[in-house]
Structure 1
Amino acid sequence: MNAFFETGLSFILFLPTFAIVGALYCAWPRAPRGAARWLADVGVLALAAGASIFAMRWGFDAGTGSGGHLWRQIVATLLAYGVFLAVLALAWPMRARWMRGRSRGEG
């Protein structure tokens, strides 16, 4: 089977989980909600998805071991999910600091 197809399929199968986590990231906190916040959230989600796809492809290529072909899928999926969560975890406090600065009129 083609590696491109397999990693793409893994990402598609994990897409509902990414969508739920991404929706929770965007939904909290509820205020303020403006165009700048919406664009920032979409940008973070796009970055998280892109980094996740990259990590999944890298993990699929790097996954070796006694588990055989299944191990490659497991490594790729774990890396993709971990990178997605890591990007959101890094963006969360940065967004909070940015929103505090905007509420004080700093930009």
Structure 2
Amino acid sequence: MNAAVELNLAFILFVPWFLILGALFWMYPRPARRSGARLGFDLGALLVAVVASVLATQWGYALGAAAPEVGAIWRQVLASLTSYAAFLVVLLIAWPLRARVVRG
């Protein structure tokens, strides 16, 4: 397998689920009129979530590679867990923050 694909496989496999979670974050709560500040905040939060997820995927894979006795599948499992956790943490922080920072 290509090394770059192997390193980012956990993120690649989670992309459909991240798209669903990102769409839900984008749509709810649905304002009567979406302001420019809300649009910018949502885009920024989703971008930070994706970047954090990619970095967490690579960190989790490297952390799993530090223990070669566990096998290659556990590297991917750890990378998947860290990738998913990073994405969710960013969105869970951004959700209430958006209500405080952005009006409308």
TM over 0.5: yes
| Residue 70 of structure 2: aligned partner | 67
| Distance change >3 Å, CA 18–CA 3, structure 1 → 2 | same
Are residues 1:98 and 2:104 paired? Answer: no
Which residue identity is paired with 1:38? Answer: L
Shift of the alpha carbon at 1:66? 4.8
The answer to which structure, 1 or 2, has the higher relative contact order (CA under 8 A, 6+ apart) is 2
Distance 1:8 1:54 in 2: 9
Task: List aligned pairs for 1:1-107, cutoff 5 A.
Answer: 1-31=1-31, 32-63=33-64, 64=67, 66-99=69-102, 102=103
Runs of 5+ in structure 2 lacking a partner? none
Identity %: 48
Q: How many residues align?
A: 101
RMSD: 1.7
Runs of 5+ in structure 1 lacking a partner? none
Shift of the alpha carbon at 1:35? 2.1
Shift of the alpha carbon at 1:85? 0.1
The one-character-per-residue Cα deviations of 1:60-96 (angstroms, maximum 9, x if unpaired) are 0001365311000000011000000000011111101
Distance 1:29 1:5 in 2: 36
TM-score (normalised: structure 1): 0.85
Q: State the secondary structure of the residue aligned to 1:30.
A: coil
